[in-house]
Amino acid sequence: MQQRIWLSLAHMGGKEQAFIQEAFDTNWVVPLGPNVDGFEADLEKYLQVRNKTIAALCSGTAAIHLGLLLAGVEKGDEVICQSFTFSASCNPIVYLGATPVFVDSEKDTWNMDPALLREAIEDRIKKTGRKPKAIVPVHLYGMPAKMDEIMAIANQYGIPVVEDAAEALGSTYKGRPCGTWGRFGILSFNGNKMITTSGGGALICPDEENCRKAIFYATQAREPYPYYQHMQIGYNYRLSNICAGIGRGQMLVLDEHIARRRQIQRMYREAINPIPGCRIMDNPSADFNSNFWLSCILVDKDKAGFSAEELRLYLESQNIESRRLWKPMHLQPVFAHVPSYTHGISDAFFETGLCLPSGSSLTEEEIQRVISCIQHITGRN
């Protein structure tokens, strides 16, 4: 059996351990410390946002939680969320006692359909007498959502946007980095994302004041007293100085990793698009510049002669990991009772799509092996 090809593995650049060693040498093996400050500053510079507006946190999920909290989401509220996403986009809505309202995706970006978003807002106002408290669009697999259109609608109704850029570090839309469009933006540094801190995330805030508040809530909401005084419920959400050290090392190779993922997408696209019924997800126009965190294939069974699931099983038999696309939230049993606005587009993506091995550490030979397998199953039918 040939060596296993994984979907997306953590990929170290080499400098990570030096930052960790420094933390040990200076006894900063604690949450907070110079690596946390340094990592936040690196991210601010990379995303071209003002100083002290990014809070490094222990996960992307924690960042969404605090973003929604600071956007004013409370018990009994409704929050609109893209349905075609990972459950972490919407779980924090429930943590806050609010109800998610799901909106389907559009065909070209796979992300929140602006027209359906407007329809959903209007309908919620009509049905409940109140407008939703926040909107959570997602840049799925690194592909930017149409943030200008989504922001225009959100601003028209005065609803804050918490932009889930967990998969989109390095992606831009109309030249502007994903994560910097909404009132709040969130990033993830989990093991398989663009860069990793082993586990971690960040909240991109509109100003220093909100960033200070985020850090306050992330450190147990301790008031500035000589003893432990609490006037709010807090959380233990800060990133550790050790994890932030990994992040600083990863920032040194981020651009290389993005370039490599884009190259992998191009290799797949050139080899696979000519196959009948197969199409690799691509930027819809020059306005979009995806980081191509994961390369995805759509399979039209009638034309290809095999389904996405049959392809997955075949790749698995060849010791190649691939994965079905996110199952939309409106199809999840746990969210069966919540309102949703859908038109079948994300349902179809879920049925016909697959994520292919896309990690930046994959070799040319490994990508070629995946391509050969897809060509082989095509020829077989």
Ligand X SMILES: *Cc1c(COP(=O)(O)O)cnc(C)c1O
Is residue 61 part of the contact set for ligand X (CB under 6 A)?
A: yes
Candidate residues 69, 138, 145, 325; the one interacting with ligand X per rule CB under 6 A: 138
CB of 206 to ligand X, least distance (A): 20
Main-chain dihedrals φ then ψ at residue 254, nearest 5 degrees: -55, -50
Using the minimum distance from each CB to ligand X, give the nearer residue, 77 or 167: 167
Active-site pick, 133, 146, 193, 213? 193
| The one segment of 69-77, 160-168, 307-315, 356-364 that binds ligand X by CB under 6 A | 160-168
Is residue 290 part of the contact set for ligand X (CB under 6 A)?
A: no
Is residue 39 part of the contact set for ligand X (CB under 6 A)?
A: no
Sign, Cα dihedral of 55, 58, 63, 66: negative
Is residue 88 part of the contact set for ligand X (CB under 6 A)?
A: yes
Candidate residues 8, 35, 53, 85; the one interacting with ligand X per rule CB under 6 A: 85
Dihedral, CA of residue 157, residue 120, residue 183 and residue 146, to nearest 10? -110
Using the minimum distance from each CB to ligand X, give the nearer residue, 135 or 267: 135
Q: How far is CA 288 from CA 139, 171, 176, 215, in A?
A: 11, 8, 10, 32
Contact 25, 231 (CB under 8 A): no
Using the minimum distance from each CB to ligand X, give the nearer residue, 88 or 147: 88
Is residue 339 part of the contact set for ligand X (CB under 6 A)?
A: no
H runs (alpha helix) in 48-195: 60-70, 91-95, 114-128, 147-157
Q: Which helix (H) or strand (E) holds 380?
A: helix 364-380
3-state secondary structure of 312: helix
| The one segment of 142-150, 164-172, 176-184, 357-365 that binds ligand X by CB under 6 A | 164-172
Q: Which helix (H) or strand (E) holds 214?
A: helix 208-218
Is residue 59 part of the contact set for ligand X (CB under 6 A)?
A: yes
Q: Which helix (H) or strand (E) holds 366?
A: helix 364-380
Active site residue 193: yes
Is residue 142 part of the contact set for ligand X (CB under 6 A)?
A: no
- Chain residues binding ligand X by CB under 6 A are 59-61, 85-86, 88-89, 138, 164, 166-167, 188, 190, 201
Give the catalytic positions in this structure: 193
